[in-house]
């Protein structure tokens, strides 16, 4: 479903502050695979998702989604196939608009927008049904301005908006980080449910080791712009949080050379 | 006093279209569109030249509006396709429009005193006699039609994308909207409205002049800001209404000032101060609140 080949990206290129955010990533994600991604701060996780969604145009590398080469597509065109929630809770919703207006914007993701009414009775029913899945009571506050919601509520709304138009690929960047533990568990459960129901191919960045292990069927660890651990299937089910944390520390301290880890 | 109110209302309605245009570009998109400074007099010049050449008032007015839309599209293209800073894009187009207007009119001022205007025609059509109140009735109807159309457009899928572009551009792009297009649409609509205002102003005052655009952006922004202060910010309907009412209030103030003997030119500075105050007011309010809280904490009181 997703092919990334030789993806390289630098920030502030040619200056003394140059950062190699992605140092050559090769990744093939199969249809309906649910990949969790962990890694220390600055490992390049967000940049990887942003490069795939076209928010940043990678310096090098090719991207293919659903057998279509999207390397040269700009972000708004990639939105047809890819839906992404940013790790910043303020980035994925429009504060001055109401909940229903935000939903109406997401309803037509990647499609042409014409002169039909954005919020109709019929669409409102769809919005209400979709919002009731997150059970935060947002379905009863359709005309509330999104700017008045809490960060967690906004992120939950962002999840509903991300899956409303049934994308092929769902990219989640720490979408539960702003939520309290109970809401986070709830939103994760909903994420898992819709991912399997809508047969989405998903990549999810998280700092929560439990989530990384429990959800999904493949786990990647990134370090310094590379994928250094890639486990899936039964091997992933056997991972433990403490084992992962240990790997994490080893990588951060760089006690072992990368080769050792790649074969672990 | 009565003339202050009637002339304030009449001019306020004429400049209300400009306030609506500024509401779209400046308030909704956050684009300080200086194109309007050239677009307003240019549209006036186009309308006046056409009237003198024998065109019917509605045709002259519509062509003027179309010329404003084109000006907005050009400024939008310069900004979004060539990546030129928004203020500079507007200044470039306004500057070019100055030449275009002089070329169109052939001289700096075109008088219209003996020509039939849109007011005369519309009032004749409605069976009313020409008077200030008649003009006000016609302008109010036109405002209702244009405002209603805007209200409808801003609630469509495309209009919602236009509004959202100014609110959270990052999100709108991620939802598959080419924000270059929504920005161009906003500027086209905004300048179309400003052009309508220019064509109506020329026909009301009986001339078009190259210098009539100076300070129009700030004056219109002041009108929008006054409306927001009085009516408060809210949904689309309230924003549209407050822009028009703000424009009427601003023009009534101006007429009142003229009555008191202040020259009209003084109002450019007043408008500038008003807009500045409105822009910094939220910051000042926050800073003041912080200071109060800090003092309360320092005094050992509970900061709430
Ligand atoms: N807009 C930017 N400008 C400059 N450098 C950037 C920018 N965005 C990211 N970087 C740099 O790129 C590197 C990778 O950043 P990225 O956001 O992908 O990390 P991450 O793995 O998502 O980290 P976190 O877990 O903290 O979110 C970091 O060193 C960061 O400083
Ligand atoms: Mg990140």
Which residues lie closer than 8 Å to B152 by C-beta, 6 or more apart?
A: B159
Exposure of B145 in the CB half-sphere (CA atoms within 13 A): 7
pLDDT digits (tens, 9 = 90+) for A104-125: 999 999 899 999 999 999 999 9
Q: Which ligand is nearest to the CA of A44?
A: 1
Q: Compute the distance between CA of residue A151 and CA of residue A180 in angstroms, rounded to an integer.
A: 10
| Residue-level pLDDT at B173 | 94
Alpha carbon distance A183, A191 (integer Å): 12
B217 and B37 Cβ atoms separated by less than 8 Å? yes
In chain A, domain spans = 2-263
Residue A262 scores a pLDDT above 50: no
Average pLDDT over residues A196-223: 92
Task: Inspect the interface and report whether the beta carbons of B173 and A96 lie closer than 8 Å.
Answer: no
> What's the gap in Å between A205 CA and the centre of ligand 2?
8
φ/ψ of A29, rounded to 5, equals -105, 125
Q: Which domain holds residue B81?
A: 2-303
Chain B residues in contact with A76 by the CB 8 A cut-off are 173-174, 176-179
- Count contacts between A and B (CB, < 8 Å): 89
Would you say the CB of residue A78 lies under 6 angstroms from ligand 1?
A: no
Question: Residue A222 and residue A226: Cα distance in Å, rounded?
Answer: 5
User: In whole angstroms, what is the distance from residue A126 CA to residue A106 CA?
Assistant: 12
Alpha carbons B71 and B42: distance in angstroms, whole number: 10
The pLDDT of residue A248 is above 60: yes
SS (H, E, C) chain A: CEEEEEEEEEECCCCCCCEEEEEEEEEEECCCCEEEEEECCCCCHHHHHHHHHCCCCCCEEEEEECCEECCCCCHHHHCCCEEEECCCCCCCCCCCCEHHHHHHHHHCCCCCCCCCECCCHHHHHHHHHHHHCCCCCHHHCCCCEHHHCCHHHHHHHHHHHHHHCCCCEEEEECCCCCCCHHHHHHHHHHHHHHHHHCCCEEEEECCCHHHHHHCCCEEEEEECCEEEEEEECHHHHCCCHHHHHHHHHHHHHCCCCHHHHHCC
> Quick check: A93 and B171 CB within 8 A?
yes
Whether the Cβ atoms of residue B187 and residue B76 lie closer than 8 Å to each other: yes
pLDDT of residue A259: 43
Spans in chain B with pLDDT lower than 70: 1, 300-304
- CA–CA distance, A166 with A155 (Å, rounded to integer): 18
Instruction: Name the residue among A75, A93, A105 with its Cβ closest to that of B160.
Output: A105
Measured CA to CA, the distance from residue B278 to residue B286 in angstroms comes to 14
Q: Which tokens sit at A140?
A: 């009863």
ipTM above threshold 0.85: yes
pLDDT tens digits for B135-156?
A: 999 999 999 999 999 999 999 9
Residue B214 CB coordination number (10 Å): 14
Half-sphere exposure of B59 (CA within 13 A, CB side): 9
Token code pair at residue A124: 């409102």
Which 8-state DSSP code applies to residue B34?
T
Task: Say if residue A57's pLDDT is above 70.
Answer: yes
pLDDT tens for each residue of A9-47: 999 988 889 999 999 999 999 999 999 999 989 999 999
- With contacts defined as CB-CB under 8 Å, which chain A residues touch B189? none
Chain-chain contact of B174 with A53 (C-beta, under 8 angstroms): yes
- A97 near B165, Cβ under 8 Å? no
Contact A47, A53 (CB under 8 A): no
Ligand 1 atom index nearest CA of A47: 18
Q: Contact at 8 Å (CB) between A110 and A169?
A: no
Contact A174, A41 (CB under 8 A): no
Check A94 against B174: CB less than 8 A apart: no
Tokens representing B23 are 């509401």
Name residue, tokens 């300080």.
B32
Is it the case that residue A166 has pLDDT exceeding 60? yes
Q: Whose CA is nearest to atom 17 of ligand 1?
A: A46
For A2-263, CATH gives 3.40.50.300
Q: Is A41 in the pocket of ligand 1 (CB under 6 A)?
A: yes
Alpha helices in chain B (DSSP H): 2-22, 35-52, 57-80, 86-105, 118-126, 132-153, 157-167, 169-174, 179-205, 216-231, 236-259, 266-298
How does residue A253 score in pLDDT terms, banded at 50, 70 and 90? low
Residue A221 clears pLDDT 70, i.e. is over it: yes
pLDDT at A257: 46
User: pLDDT-derived band of residue A193, with 50, 70 and 90 as boundaries?
Assistant: confident
User: Could you tell me the distance, in angstroms and rounded to a whole number, from the CA of residue A42 to the centre of ligand 2?
Assistant: 7
**Whole-number pLDDT of residue B301:** 53
**C-beta neighbour count of A6 within 10 angstroms:** 12
How far is the C-alpha of A10 from the C-alpha of B201, rounded, in Å? 54
- Closest-CA residue of chain B to A116: B156
**CA B194 to CA A240: how far, in whole Å?**
65
Phi, psi of B32 (to 5 degrees): -75, 90
pLDDT of residue B158: 97
User: What pLDDT is attached to residue B303?
Assistant: 43
Name the DSSP letter for residue B302. Answer: P
- For the cut 80, the answer to whether the pLDDT of residue A256 exceeds it is no
DSSP-derived secondary structure for B154-188: TTBHHHHHHHHHHH-HHHHHHTT--HHHHHHHHHH
**CA nearest ligand 1 atom 28, residue:** A42
Residue A43 CA to residue A237 CA, distance in Å, equals 24
Split at pLDDT 50, 70, 90, the class of A247 is confident
Query: For chain B, how many structural domains are there in total?
Result: 1
Which carries the bigger pLDDT value, residue B286 or residue A87?
A87
Reading the block at residue A151, the tokens are 């960060």
């Amino acid at each position: 479903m997703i092919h990334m080949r030789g993806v390289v990206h630098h920030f502030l290129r040619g200056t003394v502050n140059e950062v190699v955010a992605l140092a050559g990533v090769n990744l093939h994600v199969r249809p309906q695979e649910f990949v969790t991604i962990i890694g220390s701060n600055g490992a390049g996780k967000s940049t990887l998702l942003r490069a795939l969604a076209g928010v940043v145009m990678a310096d090098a590398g090719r991207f293919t989604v659903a057998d279509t080469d999207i390397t040269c597509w700009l972000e708004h065109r990639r939105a047809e196939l890819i839906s992404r929630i940013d790790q910043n809770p303020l980035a994925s919703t429009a504060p001055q608009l109401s909940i229903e207006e935000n939903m109406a914007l997401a309803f037509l993701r990647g499609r042409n927008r014409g002169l039909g009414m954005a919020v109709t009775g019929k669409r409102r029913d769809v919005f209400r049904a979709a919002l009731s899945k997150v059970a935060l009571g947002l379905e009863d506050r359709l005309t509330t301005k999104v700017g008045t919601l809490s960060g967690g509520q906004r992120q939950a709304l962002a999840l509903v908006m991300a899956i409303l138009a049934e994308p092929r690929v769902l990219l989640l960047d720490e979408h539960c980080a702003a939520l309290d533990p109970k809401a986070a568990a709830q939103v994760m459960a909903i994420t898992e449910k819709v991912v399997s129901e809508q047969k989405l191919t998903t990549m999810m960045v998280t700092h929560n080791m439990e989530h990384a292990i429990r959800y999904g069927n493949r786990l990647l660890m990134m370090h310094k712009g590379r994928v250094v651990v890639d486990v899936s299937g039964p091997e992933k089910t056997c991972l433990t949080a403490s084992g992962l944390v240990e790997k994490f520390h080893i990588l951060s301290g760089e006690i072992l050379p990368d080769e050792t880890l790649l074969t672990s | 006093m009565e003339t202050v109110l009637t002339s304030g209302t009449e001019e306020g309605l004429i400049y209300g279209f400009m306030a609506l245009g500024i509401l779209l570009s400046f308030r909704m998109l956050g684009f300080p569109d200086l194109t309007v400074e050239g677009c307003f007099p240019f549209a006036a010049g186009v309308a006046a030249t056409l009237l003198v050449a024998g065109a019917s008032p509605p045709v002259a007015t519509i062509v003027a509006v179309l010329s404003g839309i084109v000006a907005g599209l050009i400024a939008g293209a310069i900004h979004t396709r060539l990546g030129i800073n928004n203020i500079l894009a507007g200044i470039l187009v306004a500057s070019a429009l100055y030449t275009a207007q002089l070329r169109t009119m052939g001289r700096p001022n075109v008088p219209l005193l003996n020509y039939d205007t849109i007011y005369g025609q519309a009032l004749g059509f409605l069976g009313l006699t020409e008077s200030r109140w008649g003009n006000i009735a016609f302008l109010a109807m036109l405002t209702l039609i244009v405002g209603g159309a805007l209200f409808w457009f801003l609630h469509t899928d495309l209009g919602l994308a236009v509004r959202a572009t100014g609110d959270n551009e990052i999100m709108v792009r991620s939802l598959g909207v080419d924000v270059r297009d929504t920005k161009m649409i906003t500027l086209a609509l905004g300048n179309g409205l400003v052009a309508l205002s220019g064509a109506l102003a020329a026909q009301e005052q009986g001339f078009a002049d190259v210098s009539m655009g100076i300070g129009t952006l700030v004056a219109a922004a002041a009108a929008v800001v006054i409306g927001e202060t009085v009516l408060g910010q809210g949904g689309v309907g309230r924003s549209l209404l407050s822009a028009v009412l703000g424009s009427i209030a601003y023009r009534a103030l101006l007429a009142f000032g003229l009555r008191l003997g202040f020259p009209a030119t003084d109002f450019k500075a007043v408008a500038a101060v008003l807009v500045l105050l409105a822009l910094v007011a939220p910051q000042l309010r926050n800073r003041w609140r912080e200071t109060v809280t800090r003092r309360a904490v320092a005094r050992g009181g509970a900061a709430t």
